[in-house]
Structure 1
C-alpha cells in the first residue's frame, strides 16, 4: 500500500461516471478473488463493470454513458 501519499495528492480518486484512480502502490482484488498489484504511477480501476480487462478500466464507461443519453 502507499503508506506515504504526497500532501495534497490523494491516493484514491473517484471520477464521476468513470473509473477509480489509484496513485502509488495498491493491491486490487477482482470479483473472482484474484489479486492484482498496481504497476503504474496512477492506475484506473473499472467501476462500470463493462471493462474487458477487469479490474482495470478500458474506457467502456464512455460508450455506456453515451448510450444512456441517446
Structure 2
C-alpha cells in the first residue's frame, strides 16, 4: 500500500497526496485521485471537495 499524506493548507483545504478514494455515506465513490483537496471551511458547494470558497469567505484556520 502506498503512503498517503494529508496537509492542512494555510487558511485553506486539506490536501491529500497519494492514491485515495472518497466514499459517500452510502458507499458510492465520490472521487478517486492521486491528489485531492477537501473542504474544511464549510462553504464549498461541492462538499466534501474544496471549490475555493474559502478564499471568497475569508476563511481563517484556528
Question: Same fold, TM exceeding 0.5?
Answer: yes
User: In 2, Cα distance between the equivalents of 1:51 and 1:16?
Assistant: 17
2:32 paired residue number: 38
Larger radius of gyration: 1
- Higher normalized helix content (fraction of residues): 1
Q: Which runs of 4+ in 1 moved over 4 A?
A: none
Distance in 1 of aligned mates of 2:40 and 2:47: 9
Counting only pairs closer than 5 Å after superposition, residues 1-70 of structure 1 correspond to structure 2 as 3-5=1-3, 11-29=5-23, 33-34=25-26, 36-39=30-33, 41-65=34-58
Considering only aligned residues, what root-mean-square deviation do their CA atoms show, in Å? 2.3
Count of matched residue pairs: 58
1:51 partner SS: coil
Structure 2 unaligned spans of 5+: none
Cα drift, residue 42 of structure 1? 1.1
Q: TM-score, normalised by structure 1?
A: 0.64
**TM-score when normalising by structure 2:** 0.70
Q: Comparing both structures, which one devotes a greater share of its residues to strand? A: 2
Structure 1 gaps, min length 5: none
